[in-house]
Amino acid sequence: MKLPVTYKIEDKDGKARAGVITTPHGEIETPVFMPVGTQATVKTMSKEELLDIGSEIILGNTYHLYLRPNDELIARLGGLHKFMNWDKPILTDSGGFQVFSLGSLRKIKEEGVYFSSHIDGSKHFISPEKSIQIQNNLGSDIVMLFDECPPGLSTREYIIPSIERTTRWAKRCVEAHQKKDSQGLFAIVQGGIYEDLRQKSLDELSQMDENFSGYAIGGLAVGEPREDMYRILDYIVEKCPEEKPRYLMGVGEPVDMLNAVESGIDMMDCVQPTRLARHGTVFTKDGRLVIKSERYKEDTKPLDEECDCYVCKNYSRAYIRHLIKVQEVLGLRLTSYHNLYFLIKLMKDARKAIKEKRFKEFKEKFIQRYEGKE
C-alpha cells in the first residue's frame, strides 16, 4: 500500500536530519515548526501572514472543531483547507490530549472518553473511531491516533495499562480510517519517562507500521523535568523507523527544539509562541523579552535587533509595549507574528546547519547566547 504522506532524508549530521515530507497538499522541509490553529485559525494570523513568515504546515484540533463549528458542517463546506482558505498541509491532533486536559470533566473507559464540553457543560463521547471520523471529515493531510497522554510524573503502574489501551485504540483507529489514500496516519509513542515503557509502546505500534506515515512522541513537556524529556528523546527517537517523519508533540521552546532536532526529531508544534505573545513575551536571540517592562518605554530598537521579520523591520519596542499595555489588537498581532517567525526561522537555520554539517556548533552557539552565557 502506498502511503499518502512520505519522507525523504536529504542530509544527516549526527542524529539530526534535514529532509522533505510530501503530502497531498505539498511539501514540507524539515526540521519544521508547525503553528497551532486550534479553532481553524492560528490566533491573530491571516493566511497571508502565515505564508509571509514561511509556514509550510499548520495544525487543527479535533476536539475544538468537533464542538464548534462541528466537523460535519466543515465537511459540507468542502473540508478544513477550503473552510479556512489554507491550501498547504494541515495536521490534526486527535483530541485525546485536549480531552485528557479537562481533568474532572472527563472519564476514560475502554470504549473511549466521556467528557463535558468546556464551553457549555454539554455531554459528549469521543472514541478512537469517532476521532478518526472527525479527522476524516476535516480532511487534514496528517491524522493523529487517538491516544492517552498521561501526566508527566505518572507512575509505571499507571502507564503500563495506559500504553496497552492506547495500543488497542491504535488498532481501532487503523480499522476506522476511511481515507487511507489521502490522509496519512501518525502513530503516537507514549511511555512517560521510562525507557523500557517507551520501547514497549513503540514495539506494539510498530506491529502496525505499514499503516503509519510517521511517528509522534507524545506525553512529553507535560510536567516532567527537562532532563527527563531529553533523556527519553535521546533514547527513543532513533529507534523510530528511519524512513518516516518523527514528530515531537507540544514543544515550542527554542532550546528544547534544538535539543529535539539533535535527537532526530523532524516536526514540532506548540501553542507557546502565540500564547506568550498575547501576554507580551517575545523571543529574541538573547532570550525572552517581556515587552511590558518599564525599561522598554522609550526604546526605539526592534524586538530583536537581528531579526528580519516584518515586525522587527517596521516597529519599535516602545510602540509595541504601548499597544500591549493598552490592550490594542495590533499589539497581539505584532508579537504573535514575530514569535512564530522566530521559531520557523530557527528551524530553517537548523536545517541549513545540518546540511552544512555544523549543527552541533550552531546549536551550542545559539543556546549560549539565548541563555545569556556568552
Residues with catalytic roles: 93, 269
**Residue 248: CB atoms within 10 Å:** 28
- List % helix, strand, coil for the chain (3-state, nearest 5): 45, 20, 35
In whole angstroms, the minimum distance from the beta carbon of 204 to ligand GUN comes to: 16
Could you say which DSSP state residue 374 is in? -
Q: Is 152 assigned a ligand-binding role in the annotation? A: no
Any known ligand binding at 93?
yes
Question: What whole-number distance in Å separates Cα of residue 29 and Cα of residue 10?
Answer: 10
* In the complex, least distance from residue 156 CB atom to ligand GUN, rounded to whole angstroms: 17
The grid cell for 211 is 499503516
Residues near 161 by beta carbon (within 8 Å), at least 6 away in sequence:
none
Is the peptide bond preceding residue 69 cis, with omega within 30 degrees of 0? yes
| Binding positions for ligand GUN, rule: CB under 6 A | 93-94, 96-97, 144, 147, 149, 188, 218-219, 249-250
For the bound state, the minimum distance from the C-beta of residue 326 to ligand GUN, rounded and expressed in Å, comes to 34
DSSP 26-41: EEEEESEEEEB-TTSS
By beta-carbon proximity to ligand GUN, the closer residue of 188 and 291 is: 188
In this complex, which beta carbon is closest to ligand GUN, that of residue 30 or of residue 190? 190
Work out how close the CB of 199 gets to ligand GUN at its nearest, in angstroms, rounded to a whole number: 17
C-alpha closest to that of 126 among 140, 154, 141, 105: 105
Residue 147 annotated as binding site = yes
- Contact between 247 and 219 (Cβ < 8 Å): no
Annotated ligand binding at 95? The verdict is: yes
Residues at the binding site are 93-97, 147, 190, 219, 307, 309, 312, 338
Residues at the binding site for substrate are 93-97, 147, 190, 219
Residues at the binding site for Zn(2+) are 307, 309, 312, 338
